[in-house]
Amino acid sequence: MAAENQAPRDAKVVSLILRSLGIEECEPKVIIQLLEFAYKYSTEILLDAVLYAEHANRKNVTSADIKLSLQTKVGRHFVPPPPKQYMNEIAVTVNSRPLLMYEDEILLQVPPAKLALFGLEYSVIKKDSETKRRIY
């Protein structure tokens, strides 16, 4: 709570937006990343709007320039996912092909998880446990 009182105004606004969406807690890096995205996105929009105003031989940026800049960015930055029906059609065609069967001699044997570098080691901490543990 003390850290939140010392946070910049923009960070507090982002935190309030997250809370309004139902996100009560998050890592501080999330807020920083959202602030960075907002800064970069708004800067790109305004720079493009300036270019559109210059192209129209105007010194001042109008709301039409900003709207045009927003319309050109929306298609690149916020691409909606493909329709569910289209994804189902692709899944049917991909899943219709059988998986390849390999003989046991050809396969690469993976070492046990304890010896492997990619093996994840974790332990479950119970909610009622009050012991403090180091989180990496």
Candidates 74, 76, 11, 73; CA nearest to 44 is 73
Q: Residue for token digits 């009622």?
A: 128
> Is a pLDDT exceeding 80 seen at residue 30?
yes
Structure confidence at residue 19 (pLDDT): 94
Give the C-alpha separation, 32 to 46, whole Å.
Answer: 21
pLDDT confidence tier of residue 99, bands split at 50, 70 and 90:
confident
Q: Where are the domains of the chain?
A: 2-95
Which has more pLDDT, 10 or 1?
A: 10
Candidates 46, 40, 44, 38; CA nearest to 14 is 38
List, for residues 35-64, the tens digit of each pLDDT value. 999 999 999 999 999 999 999 999 999 999
* Whether the predicted model's global pTM rises above the 0.85 cut: no
The verdict on domain 2-95 having CATH code 2.30.30.100 is: no
Percent of the chain, pLDDT > 90? Answer: 53
Give the C-alpha separation, 51 to 43, whole Å.
Answer: 12
